[in-house]
Amino acid sequence: MQETDINLLVGGPQGGGIDSAANMISMAFSLAGYNIYGIREFHSNIKGRHSYIHFRIMHERPKSLKYPVDIMVALDPDTLFEHMFDVSKGAKVVYDSAFNGFSLKNARMITSDT
């Protein structure tokens, strides 16, 4: 049997559903018999800035996270810019097609209030 080792990152704005996505992903893989290790990263603001969770999913117990990630789910365009160098060659990136044509200069992480 081939060993499963999935590295998954879900990113988006704080208050934008990251925790809900993390809970659903954790529950689904746990019920399927996998072990999950995850780290939630967030800024010290209440809502709006970039945030993400990084999971490692394996049959055996993961002891650490691993980069690059195999799957990235972008809940906002900022995630694409913030983590574009964190994805492996051949990685799957899930995002809203409305993000096509979004300019880096419009990213929240680049605005003057950061």
- pLDDT surpassing 70 at residue 73: yes
Question: Tokens 């650490």 correspond to what residue?
Answer: 64
The pLDDT, as a whole number, for residue 51 is 87
**Number of structural domains, the chain?**
1
The pLDDT, as a whole number, for residue 7 is 97
Of 7-11, 51-55, 77-81, 107-111, the one with minimum mean pLDDT is 107-111
Q: What is the pLDDT of residues 21-49, one digit of tens each?
A: 999 999 999 999 999 999 988 766 666 67
Q: What is the pLDDT of residues 89-113, one digit of tens each?
A: 999 999 888 777 766 566 565 545 5
What CATH number has the domain bearing residue 45? 3.40.920.10
List the one residue out of 63, 55, 69, 66 whose CA is nearest residue 27. Answer: 55
User: pTM to 2 decimals?
Assistant: 0.82
Q: Are 77 and 102 in contact (CB under 8 A)?
A: yes
- pLDDT surpassing 80 at residue 1: no
The pLDDT, as a whole number, for residue 104 is 56
Percent of the chain with pLDDT over 90: 53
> What residues contact residue 69 under an 8 Å CB cut-off, 6+ apart?
7, 8, 9, 54, 83, 86, 87, 88, 91
